[in-house]
Amino acid sequence: MNTPVINILEKSLDASSLRYKVLANNVANVDTPDFKRSDVDFDLLLGEAMGQTGGELPLKVTSERHLQKTGFDSSGVVQAQGTTYRNDGNNVDIDKEMVNVAENGIYYNSVTRAISAQLSHLRTVITQK
């Protein structure tokens, strides 16, 4: 089950799950003074998942004795500091956050369908004689 497509889709689900947590935190703090909204940088997370952080090519490990890549480990969460919607310093727009939650839900569902299709293809290959 360690195919490149499934690995990327798995990382996409991880990123979407992280975004759900971040968006839920934004919604929960809609009335907290000086709270600044956060979001997830999918491009950064996808680049890290593909091993292309900083323009580097991914390392291929074919033996346990190979050196593992070390370095940058970012959560991909970015905070919007420059804006304020209210006098108390909070910059959470509840309508925009709910749109982001709906968008993330659609993204999550599409990735789960893609994983299901990949697993269905594998199942077909395994059961065909």
What are the Cα distances from residue 107, in Å, to 9, 17, 20, 34?
11, 11, 11, 30
CA of residue 63 relative to chain centroid, distance: 29
Residue 59 pLDDT class (50, 70, 90 cuts): low
Which tokens hold the place of 28? Answer: 């929960």
How do the domains of the chain map onto residue ranges? 4-127
- pLDDT at position 104 is 95
pLDDT digits (tens, 9 = 90+) for 62-98: 666 655 544 334 467 888 877 777 888 899 999 999 9
